[in-house]
Chain A
Amino acid sequence: MNTKKWKSIGTVLGETNISEFYFSLKNYKAKKGDIITTESKIPSSEGNVVPVTVWGKISSIESSNAFFPTEAAQELTNENIDIRDTILPTTRDELICKVIILGFTLKDNLKLMPLNYPVRPAATVSYPSSEDVEALLISDLDSEHPLFIGSLLARDAVKIKIDADNLVSRHVSIFGMSGSGKTVMVRRIMDELLQKKYPMVVLDIHGDYLGFIQKQKKLYPNNQVKLFYPNLSVSSDDKEIIYTLIDKLGNSLTDPQKDFLSSLLEKVKYEGGSLLKYIELLVRKAREYASDSSKSFKNIRPASMYVVVRSLGQVAKKLKNMEQTNFRHRQKMSKLKFEELPDAATEPEKIVNKGQLSILYLKGYENLPASAIVSILLENLFKHRQEVEEEIPPFLTIIEEAHNFIPSRSEDKDNLPSVDTIRKVITEGRKFGTGVMIISQRPSRLDETIASQCNSQIVFRMVNQKDQRATTRDSETLSVDDSKQLPNLANGQGIISGQVVNFSLPVQIKFDAELINDDIGNENFITAVENWDDKESVKQRKKFAKDFSNITSIDKRRAN
């Protein structure tokens, strides 16, 4: 590291401390988010004074022109005068930068250490070379498995890598508004983990990750990429889901009706399997009990039993509808090969395997069934990781639109089955290698316990103040200055903080254009309408509609 080659860009101002300082910046020599250095001296533990290089990140820049009076602006505006025609000073802008101190390094050792002595006021501030910044970041990260994700926001030339080990074991949250770059970030990480053959399970609601299936042969010839559609199942010893489904999807039941449902669940034997088939079986059996005048249920009136029948029928109908909706979406992507989700209890290796990416396509499912599906899936996979005989390798679960699966208590949806499961997986995940990545555009609507378990955050543009507060609340490393920056980030620009990077960094995420799903494409509805042509059936309907309309118009008789 040749510090002599670094350009001088400013001077440290008056009062400093060990966590931040201000400096006066030469015009156009650095930007917000840039990494800078200043030479300082600190007392060593042996009592010597040691020269050190202090590293910092510019967290804000303010510009002022003390020589430009405010009231002059008033005159310039009123009289439409160009300031450059007048004697007013135009070149005395003063730039003051606030710097968050990252730590110090000793000569020939690029490991950052916490500063415990203030930097010297009036010291020169330097702009280190891109190579040296990159070397510092890599050296400081000290990662066995770094993942490349993009470049430092202020300097394209500085490549940013994050630590894969912390990412997959200590959980990460990715927050940002719709279209801010969350999915781009997740695809980037997935791409890197696929290269490392790390297994992943993606809960995909919108089909954002189907591009991996399309490009598998070309980009990931050594990986398996599987696309699953959900199979709602129930186990023989856990029928609680039925109560929840009726509560959320059917009519609410009175106490006698609930008693009947409990007895029904006890009496009807089911060895486990398709949830829909089980509900249909329950409907059939309940109808039988109701029609044979309650020989088996003396205290329950048939009317109450029929209410349960109707409620179960409603649930079955809704589940069928969801299945059909999901099916129709799958049909649209006929080129993709969808498989039914294997039973995670008996065949977990079909879902989690070395080098395999499993995408569970949940489009069309409402919150509760989707939550049930996810809960059962993760519960089973987690069990396999807990067992002494590990049947599956460690894996990472990627939860898109996480607020649907782990809503905050204030959302009044904490009885979703996935909340408890994910809470368990995320709390104990470090031990068992079941890391979780949660992605959401509404962090304020997420379960606080789960969100706070994520030791790293990647945050993109965020305007909603409630969400900004939630982001800083759940993070130990995201500063208030960082959160102030959130509304101003552009697409694909994010702030990474936590254990994957050591100190927060503003980053431009590398955009992997080839990973976009061609079938879904962009939401270009205008073009869709421009190219719209009626289907044959619609054309026919329109053709006859005119004739029928003519009949109606000449019919003058009054209706009987």
Chain B
Amino acid sequence: MSNEIDIKNKIKANSSLFTNFVKNAVNASPKVQNNFLDVSAQVALTVQKILEDANLVTNLEYKGKDFWSENKCKTACFIDGGVDKTSIISSAPLSIRTGSYIVKPDAADKNREFFEESMVFLGDLYDPKNELYDFAEDDFDEDQMLNKKKDGARIIFEAVTIVKHILLNRKFDYCFLHGPIEATVMPFTVMGFPTFTKFAVENMLPFYNKNKLNAEARHFINVYLEALNSIKKSKFPTYGIVETSNSAPYIKNLLYSYKSKGTISEKDFKNTLSTIKKYKITDSHLLEIILQSGQAIKPLEVKKQIKGFSVTSGSAWEDKMDSFPSVHIGYIKVNDHSAPIRIESLNQSKNLIKDYEYILATARLLPNYGFPVGLNVVDKFAKIPNWMSKASRKYYATHLLKQAIRSKDQNTISLAVKILSKKVRSWRNRPLGGLAR
């Protein structure tokens, strides 16, 4: 009972879960609030027992000065992508790049750290001659897929950046990616999702299927799988690190493994999963209150690409999704006041605790944020700054208007003005006074 009270107190004191709790409180009655608290506490208590039973919780050691003194000889690479999703009706400009921050603390000044712009694309996705994606026949499809294409480009660029380092035979002790090491590919399995251009694939994966780069081979699913398989074979440990988890893959898989062993009944498993879903309980929520600062959860092997959804069902890609590598997911709680960070890798590390301690140490360098500082650094480096996005938007707007004015057609000019003032209603696009005739 005391454990339960302890957990309830933790929920109240806990930042992200408490925010969720408050959100509920705004909309719901006191009864519902209490119920949310009770459910969260009960699930946490149960999960805590299972974690202890499976011996999955581990204490990490961190002695700041000594740790860095011993580990300054290690080379670490941090990777992140930055996208400018400038939006204008008439065009689909995309600026995307991935950056790598490579650092070996004890190297001499000029060799100590490198900032590399590893992959870059600047272009317009509505341009049939763009070098990234093949152009869809149907304009409607092209428009519908726009956001997916941008996401797909970012995901593939980040993965390919790791591959590039592998191909260059870089001698890293660690490689970290800001975000999941393996993204869910389901959104890209929809009909009509365009393939990458031959030029793009040749540039991204020069070793891939050299003789036969047909449309199927150039589809996101195949290219991404190829990249992941290459990453899996990497000689250096590579981790994807996620700030907060919006789902509960770890808890669900943990419960699943206990169900498989027969420790949990099928009914209890299903009911608990249903509760987790209904109450939107995530790994972050639960582990934030279960784990202490400096504790980690050892990884579980999880299949990220789950088939059987309506989108993928019957799709040609359903079988392919099965061939994606499974992901090892663990968590580290860096400090008392932030949610645990999710650590993903394609391989089970031989030096798991050492690796986790390295991640913890890099995250402790941001004592409040609690996220590996190298990823924070590369995030700032790769980010497309506002002034650049603004300039690009300005350029597109000016170009559009100039073209319209050049046409001397009143309707075209009027359309251009409307397009440009789509979001912020401008004076020129104001409603006209008087009665409509």
Known A67-B381, A69-B376, A72-B373; contact A86-B367, beta-carbon cutoff 8 A: no
A87 B367 Cβ-Cβ under 8 A: no
Name the residue on B nearest A14 (C-beta).
Answer: B387
B380 A79 Cβ-Cβ under 8 A: no
Q: Which one of B367, B373, B387 has the highest number of Cβ atoms from chain A below 10 Å of its Cβ? A: B373
A530 contacts B by Cβ under 8 Å: no
Distance A6 CA – B338 CA, assembled complex (angstroms): 53
Q: Which of A69-87 contact B (CB under 8 A)?
A: 69, 71-72, 74-76, 78-82, 84-87
Q: Which of A48-96 contact B (CB under 8 A)?
A: 66-67, 69, 71-72, 74-76, 78-82, 84-92
Distance A84 CA – B105 CA, assembled complex (angstroms): 6
Contact of A72 among B105, B109, B113, B366 (CB under 8 A): B366
**Interface hit among B62-70, B128-136, B272-280, B301-309:** B62-70
B362 contacts A by Cβ under 8 Å: yes
A87 B65 Cβ-Cβ under 8 A: no
Known A69-B376, A89-B113, A90-B112; contact A75-B381, beta-carbon cutoff 8 A: no
B65 A80 Cβ-Cβ under 8 A: yes
Cβ contacts A460-491/B at 8 Å (1 or 0 each): 00000000000000000000000000000000
Cβ contacts B356-392/A at 8 Å (1 or 0 each): 0000001011111100011011001100000100000
Known A81-B65, A90-B113; contact A67-B103, beta-carbon cutoff 8 A: no
A85 B115 Cβ-Cβ under 8 A: no
A-side contacts of B381, CB under 8 Å: 67
Known A89-B113, A91-B112; contact A69-B366, beta-carbon cutoff 8 A: yes
B72 contacts A by Cβ under 8 Å: yes
Cβ contacts B40-69/A at 8 Å (1 or 0 each): 000000000000000000000000110011
B72 A88 Cβ-Cβ under 8 A: no
The size of the chain A interface, using a CB distance under 8 A, is 23
B65 to chain A, nearest CB (A): 5
Chain B interface residue number, banded = 20 to 34
B76 contacts A by Cβ under 8 Å: yes
A87 B105 Cβ-Cβ under 8 A: yes
B-side contacts of A14, CB under 8 Å: 387
B106 A67 Cβ-Cβ under 8 A: no
B66 to chain A, nearest CB (A): 9
Cβ contacts A156-194/B at 8 Å (1 or 0 each): 000000000000000000000000000000000000000
B366 A67 Cβ-Cβ under 8 A: no
B64 A80 Cβ-Cβ under 8 A: yes
B373 A69 Cβ-Cβ under 8 A: yes
Known A72-B365, A75-B364, A75-B367; contact A86-B105, beta-carbon cutoff 8 A: yes
Cβ contacts B87-119/A at 8 Å (1 or 0 each): 000000000000001010110010011010000
A79 B112 Cβ-Cβ under 8 A: no
A85 B380 Cβ-Cβ under 8 A: no
A-side contacts of B109, CB under 8 Å: 91
Name the residue on B nearest A75 (C-beta).
Answer: B367
B-side contacts of A89, CB under 8 Å: 101, 103, 113, 115, 377
Q: Which of B210-247 contact A (CB under 8 A)?
A: none
A-side contacts of B367, CB under 8 Å: 71, 74-75, 78
Name the residue on A nearest B381 (C-beta).
Answer: A67
Distance A89 CA – B109 CA, assembled complex (angstroms): 11
Contact of A87 among B64, B69, B115, B374 (CB under 8 A): B374
A-side contacts of B368, CB under 8 Å: 71
A-side contacts of B101, CB under 8 Å: 89
Cβ contacts A244-265/B at 8 Å (1 or 0 each): 0000000000000000000000
B373 A88 Cβ-Cβ under 8 A: yes
CB<8 Å pairs between A and B, sample of 27? A14-B387, A66-B380, A67-B380, A67-B381, A69-B366, A69-B376, A71-B368, A71-B369, A75-B365, A75-B367, A76-B365, A79-B64, A79-B65, A80-B65, A81-B64, A82-B65, A82-B69, A84-B105, A85-B68, A85-B69, A86-B365, A87-B78, A87-B103, A87-B105, A87-B365, A89-B101, A90-B112
Interface residues of A (CB under 8 A from B): 14, 66-67, 69, 71-72, 74-76, 78-82, 84-92
Interface residues of B (CB under 8 A from A): 64-65, 68-69, 71-72, 76, 78, 101, 103, 105-106, 109, 112-113, 115, 362, 364-369, 373-374, 376-377, 380-381, 387
Contacts beyond the supplied A74-B367, A89-B113, A91-B112: 8 A-B pairs with Cβ under 8 Å = A69-B373, A76-B365, A78-B367, A86-B365, A87-B373, A89-B101, A90-B112, A91-B113
The 8 tightest CB contacts between A and B, nearest first, are A79-B64, A85-B68, A85-B72, A87-B103, A67-B377, A75-B367, A72-B365, A86-B68
